[in-house]
């Protein structure tokens, strides 16, 4: 580990410490000596075939990941800075995000309040819609690929995204880590499509409000999804239930579209009195239903930070949520009056 900490990549990036590892590679915090800034660097692990590293496949995967993400410019999509090869090892350089994944947050809190989940879903779906508009299908939306910072929701890891639907690129997802959030048609071997991203988005939202994926997984594959059974209805989703059920339909043709889902999220947020705007954008730039009622005046101003519904007291608890750990450092700081602006203290 000490030798890694002193390693310098491409005479520019100094590796500092690893902070995340999954089947797609190791994520390091590093320092860019040229631009004097901290960045995140992911080492792309090559797939293995009969115990032999397939380096050409790893290079193709790295190029797909970098090109797919680099062509996107949206607050809810990870920013890619660079792609490099050093001594036969492949690295992707991205912005360094300070925060927790959605999966970690759900484990800390048990589940999210409905209005938090709606705000997270709105930000995330705005990024997904932008990617789809640019011809990029993510293909692996799940709670561990969604980062929650102090004022952003960021979709990461475009390692298996279909870049212009490159027929030479693999779109296989290791079901051991993603099976619970894969659309049923993908589990049956069909290729990537925007509708599959929407199912995975719905499953991620389901996890946010229920604290678990829509299908229990006793093995690498959720058997109920393969057998065509619908997920158990979400019991704690409140106003989000129609949206989640519409996204988790087995038939892709019957699934909600991106615009339909976005309209439903905007309605839920406005009924909660929460600004329906992504960071740096105003509500007027986003879709809304004609004649929507119940909107709070701040719904027409730029959205900043985590949402707190009007009248909500954040004295260590939130409506409908019993925190499993009162000593959790990520739980909102106690206040004596309602807080309309400013996020809970997520690092």
Q: Which residues are catalytic?
A: 140
3-class DSSP assignment, residue 180 = helix
Which long-range CB contacts under 8 A does 2-9 form with residues at least 24 apart? 8/33, 9/41, 9/84, 9/86, 9/91
3-class DSSP assignment, residue 23 = coil
Q: What is the DSSP string of 78-146?
A: PPEEEEEEETTEEEEEEEPP-SEEHHHHHHHHSS--HHHHHHHHHHHHHHHHHHHHTTEE-----GGGE
Distance CA 299, CA 301 (A): 6
The answer to whether the CB of 68 falls within 8 A of the CB of 161 is yes
Instruction: Report residue 345 as tokens.
Output: 């203290």
The candidate with the shortest Cα–Cα distance to 4, out of 82, 95, 89, is: 89
The candidate with the shortest Cα–Cα distance to 332, out of 150, 122, 177, 208, is: 150
The CA distances from residue 115 to 88, 121, 238, 245, 285, in Å, are 47, 10, 9, 17, 21
């Amino acid at each position: 580990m000490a030798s890694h900490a002193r390693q310098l990549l491409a005479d520019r990036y100094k590796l500092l410490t690893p902070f995340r590892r999954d089947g797609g590679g190791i994520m390091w915090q590093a320092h860019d000596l040229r631009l004097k800034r901290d960045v995140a660097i992911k080492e792309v692990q090559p797939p293995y075939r009969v115990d032999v590293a397939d380096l050409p496949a790893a290079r193709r995967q790295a190029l797909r990941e970098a090109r797919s993400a680099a062509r996107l410019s949206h607050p809810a999509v990870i920013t890619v800075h660079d792609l490099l090869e050093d001594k036969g090892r492949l690295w992707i350089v991205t912005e360094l995000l300070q925060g927790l994944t959605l999966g970690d947050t759900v484990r800390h809190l048990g589940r999210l309040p409905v209005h938090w989940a709606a705000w997270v879903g709105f930000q995330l779906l705005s990024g997904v819609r932008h990617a789809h508009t640019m011809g990029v299908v993510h293909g692996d939306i799940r709670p561990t690929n969604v980062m929650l910072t102090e004022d952003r929701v960021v979709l990461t890891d475009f390692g298996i995204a279909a870049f212009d639907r490159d027929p030479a690129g693999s779109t296989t997802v290791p079901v051991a880590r993603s099976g619970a959030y894969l659309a049923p048609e993908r589990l049956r071997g069909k290729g990537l499509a925007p509708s599959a991203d929407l199912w995975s988005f719905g499953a991620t939202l389901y996890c946010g409000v229920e604290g678990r994926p829509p299908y229990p997984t006793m093995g690498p594959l959720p058997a109920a999804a393969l057998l065509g059974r619908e997920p158990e209805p979400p019991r704690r989703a409140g106003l989000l239930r129609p949206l989640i059920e519409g996204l988790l339909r087995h038939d892709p043709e019957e699934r909600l579209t991106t615009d339909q889902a976005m309209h439903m999220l905007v309605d839920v947020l406005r009924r909660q009195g929460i600004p329906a705007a992504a960071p740096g954008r105003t509500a007027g730039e986003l879709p809304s239903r004609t004649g929507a009622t119940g909107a709070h005046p701040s719904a027409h101003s730029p959205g900043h930070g985590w949402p707190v519904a009007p009248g909500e007291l954040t004295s260590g608890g939130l409506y409908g949520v019993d925190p499993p750990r009162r000593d959790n450092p990520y739980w909102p700081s106690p206040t004596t009056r309602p807080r309309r602006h400013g996020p809970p203290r997520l690092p």
